[in-house]
Chain A
């Protein structure tokens, strides 16, 4: 039985993620303290707002350590969304923020001389094969001014193009993350979310 926790901080869009999980027929609980993460089989970190604000919120909830423990050592299945993906890297240009550093690499801003910033709308994502097999390439909903540049290309699960190619999704062991909003990407997003919720063990 999956035990799903959605990390809820004030600036995030945890309620939208909860609606999507509900719609898929799964039960989830909001996590607002470190203790709320114990026993979780799946942890979702939604993201809206800035990298700095998200890091600060996690610290204020006393959750940074517990989250790292659960994901890196206990190998709990983890899904980061939008800023929830960006803060997995070492550093973000946004507010010159020191991030979690679970994955090697940094987060940089789109080139405003080439494209409108923020990127806002539906963009096509190409997926590499992984534990899910081949996820069909489809359009997903993005809202972002910054994007991740993983040091290890093996971490890149999906790519999209906005002025130039950028990383749209990440997968490494039990860690999954999408720059797009799975909870707002229609049936394609719900399908991807369901694949994640159907996973039973991390570390594969």
Chain B
């Protein structure tokens, strides 16, 4: 039986993990490869790195950091940020990443999803998207809209339509981040995740809002999401308590959620 995945998410600036609230006010946490190694030894299932300033600084993704991480952790990891074309994807894969996450760039140029899937396989392309509740309208029938560029710019696109289209173009996984819940530590947007999971047949990764083990349990019990992005609860110095991966998995297993290494 396939287990539910816990994915630790790192926002990277200059090779170091940082932590923001609502996409702002980043504080420094640790060097990326060191924190990755700590999480690996604690038996995280997967890692994702976002080079959060690559796009705005119009530069390529931080390949040296990707390489350093690849030498230390032997679980899948995804990189995103600053990916503009197939060459960028190939560089990141060659450096040891398993998958590439595309977000704002895919909204501007959806063909990058199809091209990436054709060149490297669907399993290498994760469509990541930032979603906000905006109310139901003719243009946004689900009431959930896609935002880009650090969740600052509205696109006028319906989130469910977008992930369906992305999966159709060849994305092997879809990661949906709730802008409303991100950084609030109030739990995942379960309504959004249920709608997203029903909209696509590829695996859904839920993101935004995890603050306690109960939030993970609610996600996996009440939706079909296959994986959960967690970050603050693992390592943010702003949190009153950080959880180990082992603690989280033990709690999930005790509550009937299938996980690796409980």
Chain A residues contacting B76 (CB-CB under 8 Å) are: 141, 143, 181, 184
Contact present for B120 and A123 (CB under 8 Å): no
B1 within 8 A of A: yes
Contact present for A23 and B74 (CB under 8 Å): yes
Q: A16-B96, A112-B201 known; A122 and B173 CB under 8 Å?
A: no
Contact present for A120 and B1 (CB under 8 Å): no
Q: In the assembled complex, how far is the CB of residue B1 from the closest CB belonging to chain A, in whole angstroms?
A: 6
Report which of B70, B74, B201 forms a contact with A117, defined as CB distance below 8 A: B201
Chain A residues contacting B226 (CB-CB under 8 Å) are: 116, 120-121
Write out, one digit per residue, whether chain A residues 3-20 have a CB within 8 A of any chain B CB (1) or not (0).
000000011010110011
Chain A residues contacting B172 (CB-CB under 8 Å) are: 118, 120, 143
Across chains A and B, the number of contacting residue pairs, with CB separation under 8 Å, is: 92
Q: In the assembled complex, how far is the CB of residue A18 from the closest CB belonging to chain B, in whole angstroms?
A: 9
A49 within 8 A of B: yes
Contact present for B121 and A119 (CB under 8 Å): no
Report which of A10, A16, A119, A185 forms a contact with B70, defined as CB distance below 8 A: A16
B128 within 8 A of A: no
Size range of the chain A interface in the assembly:
35 or more
Complex Cα gap A193–B123 (Å): 23
Contact present for A20 and B74 (CB under 8 Å): yes
Chain B residues contacting A143 (CB-CB under 8 Å) are: 76, 98, 123, 172
Report which of A11, A116, A185, A189 forms a contact with B121, defined as CB distance below 8 A: A11
CB within 8 Å of A: which B79-113 residues: 90, 93-96, 98
Chain B residues contacting A69 (CB-CB under 8 Å) are: none
Chain A residues contacting B74 (CB-CB under 8 Å) are: 19-20, 23, 183-187, 189-190
Q: A15-B70, A184-B76, A185-B74 known; A116 and B123 CB under 8 Å?
A: no
Report which of B45, B98, B202, B203 forms a contact with A13, defined as CB distance below 8 A: B98
Chain A residues contacting B122 (CB-CB under 8 Å) are: 118, 145
CB within 8 Å of A: which B50-71 residues: 70-71
CB within 8 Å of A: which B194-229 residues: 201-203, 226-227
Q: In the assembled complex, how far is the CB of residue B46 from the closest CB belonging to chain A, in whole angstroms?
A: 8
A38 within 8 A of B: no
B19 within 8 A of A: no
Q: In the assembled complex, how far is the CB of residue A130 from the closest CB belonging to chain B, in whole angstroms?
A: 23
* Residue of chain B at shortest CB distance from A143: B123
Contact present for B260 and A122 (CB under 8 Å): yes
Report which of A22, A50, A183 forms a contact with B71, defined as CB distance below 8 A: A22
Complex Cα gap A139–B5 (Å): 12
Complex Cα gap A16–B74 (Å): 8
B27 within 8 A of A: no
B162 within 8 A of A: no
Contact present for A121 and B45 (CB under 8 Å): yes
Interface centre among A50, A119, A143 (most CB of B within 10 A): A143
Contact present for A123 and B3 (CB under 8 Å): yes
Residues of A within 8 A of B (CB): 10-11, 13, 15-16, 19-20, 22-23, 48-50, 112, 116-124, 139, 141-143, 145, 161-162, 181, 183-187, 189-190
Residues of B within 8 A of A (CB): 1-5, 40, 43, 45, 70-71, 74-76, 90, 93-96, 98, 119-124, 172-173, 201-203, 226-227, 260-261
A121-B3, A161-B1 given; 5 more Cβ-contact pairs under 8 Å: A116-B202, A118-B172, A121-B226, A122-B3, A122-B260
